Amino acid sequence: AIRMTQSPSSFSASTGDRVTITCRASQGISSYLAWYQQKPGKAPKLLIYAASTLQSGVPSRFSGSGSGTDFTLTISCLQSEDFATYYCQQYYSYPITFGQGTRLEIK
């Protein structure tokens, strides 16, 4: 199975900050990568797929980049509603696998 490793596992930031979360695949996955946001007690929500395609309805402050093994999720100007846990997920091959999550907390 392809292992997905996110960094950092958690960090604190302030409203208005620009933040970047990284995700590394244990082998090349082309652009078969998605990012999800999960808030406590809620189901995950798709933010980005195909590494950089913004899902309909997701604010443009979210962006994704990368291909192969290294990927990033960037939030350009943090809003209060963005404090959550973020997961990357590869769908290049089965089994589908997720990263361990990055918890973004308010500083």
Partner 1 sequence: QITLKESGPTLVKPTQTLTLTCTFSGFSLSTSGVGVGWIRQPPGKALEWLALIYWDDDKRYSPSLKSRLTITKDTSKNQVVLTMTNMDPVDTATYYCAQHIVATIFNWGQGTLVTVSS
Q: Which residues bind partner 1 (CB under 8 A)?
A: 1, 32, 34, 36, 42-46, 49-50, 55, 87, 89, 91, 94-101
Full 3-state SS string of 22-70: EEEECCCCCCCEEEEEECCCCCCEEEEECCCEECCCCCCCEEEEEECCE
With respect to partner 1, which residue has the nearer C-beta, 11 or 15? 11
Nearest in space to 71 (alpha carbons), one of 10, 2, 24? 24
Nearest in space to 104 (alpha carbons), one of 89, 87, 90? 87
For the bound state, the minimum distance from the C-beta of residue 32 to partner 1, rounded and expressed in Å, comes to 8
With respect to partner 1, which residue has the nearer C-beta, 15 or 53? 53
For the bound state, the minimum distance from the C-beta of residue 98 to partner 1, rounded and expressed in Å, comes to 4
With respect to partner 1, which residue has the nearer C-beta, 31 or 76? 31
For the bound state, the minimum distance from the C-beta of residue 26 to partner 1, rounded and expressed in Å, comes to 15
